[in-house]
Protein backbone atom coordinates (compact mmCIF):
# COMPACT_ATOMS: atom_id res chain seq x y z
CA UNK A 1 0.00 0.00 0.00
CA UNK A 2 1.29 3.47 -0.84
CA UNK A 3 1.55 5.88 2.05
CA UNK A 4 -1.15 8.51 1.57
CA UNK A 5 -0.29 10.87 4.43
CA UNK A 6 2.34 13.40 3.36
CA UNK A 7 3.62 13.94 6.90
CA UNK A 8 4.43 10.22 7.21
CA UNK A 9 6.11 10.12 3.78
CA UNK A 10 8.22 13.12 4.82
CA UNK A 11 9.12 11.50 8.15
CA UNK A 12 10.27 8.30 6.42
CA UNK A 13 12.26 10.25 3.83
CA UNK A 14 13.93 12.17 6.67
CA UNK A 15 14.81 8.86 8.38
CA UNK A 16 16.49 7.68 5.16
CA UNK A 17 18.57 10.87 5.11
CA UNK A 18 19.56 10.37 8.75
CA UNK A 19 20.91 6.90 7.88
CA UNK A 20 22.46 7.85 4.52
CA UNK A 21 25.16 10.24 5.76
CA UNK A 22 27.89 9.79 3.12
CA UNK A 23 27.96 9.27 -0.65
CA UNK A 24 30.42 6.94 -2.40
CA UNK A 25 31.44 6.05 -5.96
CA UNK A 26 32.20 2.56 -7.28
CA UNK A 27 33.97 0.99 -10.24
CA UNK A 28 31.63 -2.03 -10.26
CA UNK A 29 28.32 -3.06 -8.76
CA UNK A 30 28.91 -3.12 -4.97
CA UNK A 31 26.20 -5.74 -4.50
CA UNK A 32 23.49 -5.83 -1.87
CA UNK A 33 25.21 -7.42 1.13
CA UNK A 34 25.84 -4.09 2.86
CA UNK A 35 29.61 -4.57 2.53
CA UNK A 36 31.45 -1.80 0.71
CA UNK A 37 33.37 -3.33 -2.26
CA UNK A 38 34.78 -1.76 -5.42
CA UNK A 39 34.94 1.77 -4.03
CA UNK A 40 37.13 4.27 -5.88
CA UNK A 41 40.57 4.95 -4.35
CA UNK A 42 43.59 7.13 -5.07
CA UNK A 43 44.12 10.38 -6.90
CA UNK A 44 45.50 13.80 -6.07
CA UNK A 45 43.49 15.36 -4.64
CA UNK A 46 42.49 11.98 -3.26
CA UNK A 47 39.04 10.47 -3.70
CA UNK A 48 37.01 10.40 -0.47
CA UNK A 49 33.41 9.80 0.44
CA UNK A 50 31.43 12.98 0.76
CA UNK A 51 29.08 13.95 3.56
CA UNK A 52 25.51 14.41 2.37
CA UNK A 53 23.44 17.43 3.30
CA UNK A 54 19.89 16.45 2.39
CA UNK A 55 17.30 19.11 1.66
CA UNK A 56 14.03 19.35 3.56
CA UNK A 57 11.51 16.67 2.60
CA UNK A 58 8.65 17.57 0.30
CA UNK A 59 5.92 15.06 -0.57
CA UNK A 60 8.22 12.21 0.52
CA UNK A 61 11.22 13.39 -1.55
CA UNK A 62 14.65 14.51 -0.35
CA UNK A 63 17.55 15.56 -2.57
CA UNK A 64 21.23 16.40 -2.28
CA UNK A 65 24.25 16.98 -4.50
CA UNK A 66 27.92 16.15 -3.86
CA UNK A 67 31.09 16.52 -5.95
CA UNK A 68 33.92 13.99 -5.81
CA UNK A 69 37.56 14.08 -6.87
CA UNK A 70 38.19 11.11 -9.17
CA UNK A 71 41.65 9.76 -10.10
CA UNK A 72 42.78 9.09 -13.65
CA UNK A 73 42.24 5.63 -15.06
CA UNK A 74 38.98 5.06 -13.18
CA UNK A 75 35.57 4.31 -14.65
CA UNK A 76 32.59 5.14 -12.43
CA UNK A 77 29.69 2.70 -12.83
CA UNK A 78 27.77 2.91 -9.54
CA UNK A 79 27.08 5.27 -6.66
CA UNK A 80 25.86 4.53 -3.19
CA UNK A 81 25.15 5.90 0.24
CA UNK A 82 26.88 4.73 3.41
CA UNK A 83 26.54 5.21 7.14
CA UNK A 84 29.95 6.84 7.73
CA UNK A 85 33.00 8.49 6.18
CA UNK A 86 35.08 5.28 6.28
CA UNK A 87 34.32 1.60 6.78
CA UNK A 88 30.61 1.40 7.61
CA UNK A 89 27.71 -0.15 5.84
CA UNK A 90 26.43 0.45 2.32
CA UNK A 91 22.70 1.06 2.68
CA UNK A 92 21.70 1.84 -0.90
CA UNK A 93 23.17 1.86 -4.40
CA UNK A 94 22.35 2.75 -7.98
CA UNK A 95 23.90 2.15 -11.39
CA UNK A 96 24.96 5.41 -13.04
CA UNK A 97 25.86 6.21 -16.62
CA UNK A 98 29.40 4.87 -16.94
CA UNK A 99 32.03 7.62 -17.01
CA UNK A 100 35.73 6.98 -17.66
CA UNK A 101 38.37 9.39 -16.40
CA UNK A 102 41.50 9.52 -18.58
CA UNK A 103 42.88 12.19 -16.24
CA UNK A 104 42.10 13.42 -12.72
CA UNK A 105 38.68 15.07 -12.64
CA UNK A 106 35.50 15.67 -10.70
CA UNK A 107 32.16 13.88 -10.68
CA UNK A 108 28.98 15.53 -9.44
CA UNK A 109 26.31 13.21 -8.11
CA UNK A 110 22.73 14.31 -7.56
CA UNK A 111 20.92 12.12 -5.03
CA UNK A 112 17.15 11.78 -4.83
CA UNK A 113 15.19 9.61 -2.43
CA UNK A 114 11.50 9.32 -3.27
CA UNK A 115 8.92 7.66 -1.08
CA UNK A 116 5.58 7.22 -2.82
The pLDDT tens digits of the residues spanning 86-114 come to: 988 899 999 999 999 999 999 999 999 99
- Report helix, strand and coil shares of the chain as percent, to nearest 5: 10, 45, 45
Domain limits of the chain?
6-114
Percent of residues, the chain, with pLDDT higher than 90: 85
* Mean pLDDT value across residues 54-68: 97
Question: What is the reported pTM?
Answer: 0.93
* Mean pLDDT value across residues 31-42: 86
Amino acid sequence: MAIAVTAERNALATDYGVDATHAALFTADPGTTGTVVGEVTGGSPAYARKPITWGAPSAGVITASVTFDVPSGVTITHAGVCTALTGSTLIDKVAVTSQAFASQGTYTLTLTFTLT
